Amino acid sequence: MKTIRVGSRESRLAVIQSQMAIDAIHRYDPSIPVELVTMKTTGDIILDRTLDKIGGKGLFVKELDAALLDGRVDITVHSSKDLPMEIDPRLPLAAFSRRADPRDVLVLPEGVSEIDFSKPIGCSSLRRQLQLKKLFPQASLAPIRGNVLTRLQKLDRGEYSALVLAGAGLIRLGLENRISRYFSTEEILPAAGQAILAVQTRQDMETPWLSLFEDADARDCLTAERAYVRTLDGGCSSPVAAYATVSQDTLTLKGMYVTGEQQLYFETVTGPRSQADALGSELALNMRRKYL
């Protein structure tokens, strides 16, 4: 039986997330041999500049895409929010995990219970920064790069007063105890795809063994969210946010639009989940017409 080689970034969180896909393959058929292949991406190596200065989110997938294309790996596992909006048609997204907790969270230094506003809050995402300014107008914000564990070390060394991170990553790392506060999706609208894992493969590859990984609700929500961001031409440096939920056959999508003057607007669209892609595009076009 052919071994399925799973490509992953080297970080502890990336390996844990890849293991979730491997576990789903083994639930489908315990006899399938699976091998984990880890590698560093450009985004993991260049840590002294923000992503918008070095090429955007594609830097987290470039090496993994190359490994897929040349056959060194058969599938790759990604955090959906780290995927570029345009996907190489030779490397389709094959399956999506059930969404974990989508909320952003506040993390304070160990043993601390209040934010020290004399130090900056560590946060590289412009999406988060703009929404945090409304919540904490007295705070200063500073970019921070590196994997979750590296960021926590910088926080605990006293370089920052707090961090804002995706709660799902901390929970998957077993670091839920570090979460000081959950921000509701009304307070901070999540990034498109936040808390959903995506498996990418080659165009010619059949993947029945991913059937227990696949979640239909996550697929429809992510389709709407990515359509919204893509229609707005939102890349890594664009402060956009989109969050969808489904209830039976109905999908509700909330989007954030930011004007050139950094004024934030939020609107919602509801419709049939079978029209997820069209709903995302419709909301983006409506908001652009209204606020551009």
| Mean pLDDT (whole number) for 10-21 | 95
Range from 15-19, 97-101, 142-146 carrying the lowest mean pLDDT:
142-146
Average per-residue pLDDT for the chain: 91
pLDDT for residue 1? 78
Which residues contact residue 70 at a Cβ distance below 8 angstroms, ignoring those fewer than 6 apart? none
Nearest to 18 by CA among 63, 49, 64, 69: 64
In angstroms, the CA 49 to CA 146 distance is 10
pLDDT band at residue 55 under the 50/70/90 scheme: very low
pLDDT for residue 47? 46
Q: What value, to the nearest 5°, has the Cα angle with vertex 276 and ends 271 and 277?
A: 130
pLDDT for residue 54? 42
Residue 88 has pLDDT above 70, yes or no: yes
pLDDT for residue 233? 79
What spatial distance separates the first Cα and last Cα of the chain, rounded to whole Å?
A: 56
Q: What confidence tens digit (pLDDT) does each residue in 159-206 have?
A: 999 999 999 999 999 999 999 999 999 999 999 999 999 999 999 999
Question: What residues are annotated to the active site?
Answer: 82
Element (H, E) at 22: helix 12-28
pLDDT for residue 237? 55
Q: What confidence tens digit (pLDDT) does each residue in 105-131 have?
A: 999 999 999 999 999 999 988 999 999
Range from 150-154, 238-242, 252-256 carrying the lowest mean pLDDT:
238-242
Residue 62 has pLDDT above 90, yes or no: no
Residue 238 has pLDDT above 80, yes or no: no
Nearest to 205 by CA among 112, 73, 117: 73
Radius of gyration of the chain (CA): 19
Residue 44 has pLDDT above 70, yes or no: no
Query: pTM value?
Result: 0.91
pLDDT for residue 124? 86
pLDDT band at residue 215 under the 50/70/90 scheme: very high
